[in-house]
């Protein structure tokens, strides 16, 4: 059983604004962004890199008390269904979708193999190219997440600097 020690975790003003927007969108759909769901979403939005379910569980436990993995997985399932987060399959981790905040859209991620950060990009041409290629194969894409692995600009510069030294 999940027992809240704090009703809500404290987040940055930017994250609080995104959480307020997410709660309003949920309400307009007739669903609720409960305190637990809000806290999980806030932790994801404030993370420097994609967050795994067990990392989220550990962070929740330090603030809210005992919790079991199904508690976090149910919250993540809700957030995914509402389009508030994306799951990066390659990392088995989650990132927030603050810009779209609940609008389902094709997800494209650039994942740095050095630092582990993931950056979501929105390239309409890439989405159209995938849809076009699928149509030529007689396939209709319902949902697509593209994950590209490489080096972010910071890590590429660091690697380049090490190779010159």
Predicted pLDDT of residue 42: 94
The answer to whether the CB of 102 falls within 8 A of the CB of 41 is no
Which domain CATH number covers 120?
3.30.1490.190
CATH number for position 50: 1.10.10.10
Instruction: Tell which residue, 157, 87, 156, has the closest CA to residue 118.
Output: 87
Alpha carbon separation from 76 to 26, 44, 109 (Å, rounded): 14, 10, 19
Q: Are 57 and 47 in contact (CB under 8 A)?
A: no
Can you give the residue range of the structural domain that contains 123? 105-165
Residues in the chain: 165
Claim to verify: residue 136 and residue 60 sit in the same structural domain: no
Q: Among residues 164, 158, 26, which one has the least CA distance to residue 101?
A: 26
Given 62, 85, 103, which residue is the final one in a domain?
103
Within this chain, do residues 82 and 37 fall inside the same structural domain, yes or no? yes
Q: Which mean pLDDT values do the consecutive 10-residue runs of the chain (165 residues) have?
A: 49 93 94 95 93 94 85 95 91 80 71 91 89 95 88 90 73
Shared domain for 122 and 95, answered yes or no, is no
pTM for the structure as a whole: 0.79
Whether residues 39 and 87 fall in one domain: yes
Asked if residue 76 lies in contact with residue 40, where contact means CB atoms within 8 angstroms, the answer is yes
**What total number of domains does the chain contain?**
2
Q: Are the C-beta atoms of residues 36 and 75 closer than 8 Å to each other?
A: yes
Indicate the residue among 103, 119, 141 that finishes a domain. Answer: 103
């Amino acid at each position: 059983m999940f027992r809240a020690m704090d009703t809500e975790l404290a987040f940055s003003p930017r994250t609080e604004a995104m959480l307020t927007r997410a709660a309003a969108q949920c309400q307009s759909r007739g669903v609720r962004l409960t305190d637990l769901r809000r806290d999980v979403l806030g932790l994801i939005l404030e993370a420097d890199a994609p967050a795994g379910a067990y990392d989220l569980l550990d962070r929740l436990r330090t603030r809210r008390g005992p919790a079991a993995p199904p508690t976090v997985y149910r919250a993540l399932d809700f957030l995914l269904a509402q389009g508030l987060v994306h799951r990066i399959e390659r990392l088995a981790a989650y990132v927030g979708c603050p810009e779209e905040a609940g609008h389902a859209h094709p997800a494209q991620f650039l994942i740095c193999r050095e630092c582990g950060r993931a950056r979501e990009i929105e390239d309409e041409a890439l989405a159209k190219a995938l849809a076009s290629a699928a149509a030529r194969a007689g396939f209709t894409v319902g949902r697509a997440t593209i994950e590209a692995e490489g080096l972010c600009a910071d890590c590429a510069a660091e690697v380049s600097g090490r190779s010159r030294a």
